[in-house]
Amino acid sequence: MESHLLGARDLSIIETPPKNRLPIITEIITELESEPVKKAIQREMSRGGQIYAINDKVNDIELYSLKLKEMVPRAKVGIVHGQMPTTQIEKAMRDFLEKKIDILCATKIVESGLDVPNANTIIINRAHNFGLAELYQLRGRVGRSNEQAYCFLVTLPVKNLSKDSLRRLEAMEEYSELGAGFQLAMRDLEIRGAGNLLGAEQSGFINDIGFELFQKTLAEAVEELKEEEFSELFKDIPLGRKSNPFLKRAGEDAEAVKLILGVDALIPEHYIEDDAERFSFYQRFAKVTIKSELEEIVTELRDRFGAIPEEVNNLLHIASIRELSLRLGFRGIAIDEVSRTLRITLPAENQSEYYQQFFPHIIQSFKTIGESRVRLVPDGRKLRVVVKLNSKDRNVERLKEIEELLLMLVNGMPQPI
């Protein structure tokens, strides 16, 4: 099926489900401790299956698990939520996968990334507090085999529900057939509204320049207003360009630093198999602002996925190099493999404040590594610093040398960075 959304993109929809899959029977009930829920749990356990029991809050998830235990005393109940230590989460999930747990009480932490074919019943407590996309994702945790799956949406009586909550629950019950994701997404858009982003006020402008550039332009405009028109309101708050127009924080205008380092820096699929999990770690690398945040990522990677491969080590060093480069105001860093040199691009020559206040300190720091290894090269309206590298290694050792060089420059600056 091909269709068009605002004339922006062709849209392909895959509606054919995998073979032997059955639609998930979805039922709305108004009381958790009811006969249908109890029978559903007993039915699933009698056929050797398992149950997800979803709660919308962490603070009463233990009470929720106790209620389920009272309803079916022979059931083995486990708990998992995002506030638990990583090791406990892993243990609970391992027990569930190994069938040591019959009912897994969880928050929406299990919304994606799990595939447990033996779990074919899900009970979502206070379902009216979840969004339609969340309910759809949660329901998708069951029915991943050729067994009939069931989804129970436990909610308030209809008279106590808001209009939107009722429409969401009705949509879940209506679109329970396989391949109904697109229809649910359209119903969700209808319930919540598309907003200005897709309206006449903004859509043409964003289509012209792209959403990322729009966000960047908006952020710059807000920063400019804070510094100029509303400077009195923000006089006691250190702003990026006002406190120091060149020593940037990581994550601020990160596109300004172009890195060409000639190494493989990525998270391999064999290290983190789940696409969403890999993307999450890429996002965390991009937002690193201080060394301790990088150390936290390293600790978590080792704890959850084992020894860190070379490609990920490269990514760690590159995240650090980018952060240090931003703080030093550099516009680009590239390696010339032929001459085995590091080429650092400085700001344009019209940035007089940079060259008056910071450039002398940078040059002085460079001199400590030997004048024979450093030279200045004009490049249009910009300057480049060319540094001879010691390391012959094209991967980790070279990145370490660059990182140590930038750290030396940071430490040589006249003020804390």
For 281-315, the pLDDT digits (tens) are 887 887 776 778 888 888 889 888 889 988 888 88
- Give the model's confidence band at 11: pLDDT under 50 very low, under 70 low, under 90 confident, else very high: low
**Which residue has better confidence, 26 or 229?**
26
CA dist list (Å): 85 to 56, 57, 99, 199, 300 = 19, 17, 21, 44, 11
- Over residues 337-354, the mean pLDDT reads 83
pTM of the model: 0.47
- Give residue 208's pLDDT: 52
Across 59-73, 83-97, 168-182, 190-204, least confident range: 190-204
Is 54 a residue whose pLDDT tops 50?
A: yes
**Can you tell me the distance from the alpha carbon of 351 to that of 310, in angstroms, rounded to the nearest whole number?**
38
Chain mean pLDDT for the chain: 79
CA distance 26 to 175: 9
Mean pLDDT value of segment 242-247: 45
* Band of pLDDT at residue 12, cut at 50, 70 and 90: low
Residue 100 DSSP one-character state? -
The 10 Å Cβ neighbour count of residue 244 is 20
Say which range, 102-111, 174-183, 338-347, 349-358, has the weakest mean pLDDT. Answer: 174-183
Delimit the CATH 3.90.1150.50 region(s) of the chain: 254-411
Phi, psi of 292 (to 5 degrees): -65, -30
Note the pLDDT tens digit of each residue in 70-112. Answer: 999 999 999 999 889 888 998 999 999 999 999 999 998 888 7
Q: Is the pLDDT of residue 237 over 60?
A: no
Asked if residue 260 lies in contact with residue 301, where contact means CB atoms within 8 angstroms, the answer is no
Q: Examine the pLDDT at 20 and tell me if it is beyond 80.
A: no
The secondary structure of residue 374, as a DSSP letter, is: E
Is 62 a residue whose pLDDT tops 90?
Answer: yes
Query: CATH 3.40.50.300: which residues of the chain?
Result: 11-192
Tell me what pLDDT residue 244 has: 45
* % pLDDT > 90, the chain: 19
Q: Which fold has domain 11-192?
A: Rossmann fold (3.40.50)
pLDDT, average across residues 254-268: 74
Lowest-confidence region among 120-124, 261-265, 372-376: 261-265
Burial class (CB in 10 A: 0-12, 13-18, 19+), 52: buried
Under the banding of pLDDT at 50, 70 and 90, the label for residue 241 is very low
Share of the chain above pLDDT 70, in %: 77
Which SS3 state, helix, strand or coil, does residue 119 take? strand
Higher pLDDT, residue 230 or 160: 160
Sign of the four-CA dihedral 207, 210, 212, 213: negative
- Please tell me which of 55-64, 107-116, 229-238, 290-299 the model is most confident about, judged by mean pLDDT: 55-64
Q: Which CATH class is domain 254-411?
A: alpha beta
pLDDT above 80: residue 243: no
pLDDT of residue 217: 67
